[in-house]
Amino acid sequence: MPGPVVVDIEGTQLSGAERRRLRHPLVGMVILFARNYASPDQLCALTAEIHELRSPPLLIAVDHEGGRVQRFRQPPFTRIAPMTRLGALWDVDVLRACRTALAIGYVLAAELRAHGVDLSFAPVLDLDWGRSGVIGDRALHRDPRVVALLAAQLMHGMSLAGMGNCGKHFPGHGWPAADSHTAVPIDDRGRAELLAVDVAPYRWLGVALAGVMPAHVIYPQVDDRPAGFSSRWIKGVLRRQLGFTGAVFSDDLSMEGASVAGGIVARGQAALDAGCDFILACNDPASAEVLLASIRWRRTATFERRRARVVPRGPAVPMADLLRDATYLAAREEAIALNTTVPASA
């Protein structure tokens, strides 16, 4: 049975060492990056081999939000505009923005599933405070109400293609300027302000959220640990106060924002103990091996229920069939139009 560790692979096909690693009982998911894509046929072959390694199959995920965080960009994948354009469109045409968001969610998920990818870590629920370079145009809007409503449409579109979702980065990564990939961001705002504004989309989206990824950000007014290692945030706010029942994914444990928790094993254990269901160990195969050899974890029925929330539903539609499907083609046209419909500065 799959476990809680999410690992990556180095190239466009599996090595012998990677096949052995993916068969480890603690591995439960594989995350792909741009380096893992060479062509549609190659990606389909790679995902098929990963799925065939285990029963039930390992899940395959990717960061595929649109804009600068879209791992697969070459045709037949549709180039998705940065999410800030949806917010700009909302400001001039609310109904069209909702329709476009739904179309983007469907196209994004249908294309990924057609190539064997089960989950995209999307949508971004961070607010566009105009302060964070790493978030920047990945954010939908500054108004949490708009973020929640557009995200709901994106998630509905993903669901139409049988894909779950993962809102990120809880409770919010839009305020601190530092990039958690290379630094330890700190958000000094108080708990009440965070809950009223940045956390609001998570509360409003409710059961529609299948997954949540906490931020490698420290909110010292709440806890001196980053949210991804904080039981106050995950068990206290997210689970008890907001009633979230889906899967919680740590952000990549190799990021600098995670360094305050110690080495790779200490980071992974801290994330699990804080309430994460899955922990990501990327871009360092040696560290992933150390983590798998040392982590303490016990399978529970709760873990299985939460994992089931992000398992794809129904069969995927092959890409050749999508390209003959009127619904997909109309949605793709709508998604493509966003690249030119609203100026980025609107």
pLDDT digit string (tens) for 283-297?
A: 999 999 999 999 999
Determine, yes or no, domain membership for 211: yes
Determine, yes or no, domain membership for 8: no
Q: According to the model, what pLDDT value does residue 249 have?
A: 98
Determine, yes or no, domain membership for 167: yes
* Residue from 113, 111, 124 nearest 60 by CA: 113
Determine, yes or no, domain membership for 189: yes
With contact defined as beta carbons under 8 Å apart, do 96 and 144 qualify?
Answer: no
* Residue from 29, 36, 40 nearest 15 by CA: 36
Q: Which domain holds residue 156?
A: 66-247+254-277+298-341
183 phi and psi angles, rounded to 5 deg: -150, 180
What span, in angstroms and rounded, lies between the C-alpha atoms of 63 and 70?
Answer: 7
Residue 8, CA distances (Å) to 20, 166, 248 in order: 13, 18, 18
From first to last of the 346 residues of the chain, give the pLDDT tens digit.
899 999 999 999 999 999 999 999 999 999 999 999 999 999 999 999 999 999 999 999 999 999 999 999 999 999 999 999 999 999 999 999 999 999 999 999 999 999 999 999 999 999 999 999 899 999 999 999 999 999 999 999 999 999 999 999 999 999 998 777 777 899 999 999 999 999 999 999 999 999 999 999 999 999 999 999 999 999 999 999 999 999 999 999 988 777 887 899 999 999 999 999 999 999 999 999 999 999 999 999 999 999 999 999 999 999 999 999 999 999 999 999 999 876 544 4
Determine, yes or no, domain membership for 262: yes
Determine, yes or no, domain membership for 42: no
With contact defined as beta carbons under 8 Å apart, do 281 and 4 qualify?
Answer: no
Instruction: Tell me the whole-structure pTM to 2 decimals.
Output: 0.96
Q: According to the model, what pLDDT value does residue 94 have?
A: 97
* Residue from 214, 207, 211, 187 nearest 274 by CA: 214
Q: What is the number of domains present in the chain?
A: 1
Cα angle for residues 324, 327, 331 (degrees, 5° grid): 110
Residue 222: give its domain's CATH number: 3.20.20.300
Q: Which residues carry out catalysis?
A: 181, 251
Determine, yes or no, domain membership for 127: yes
Determine, yes or no, domain membership for 45: no
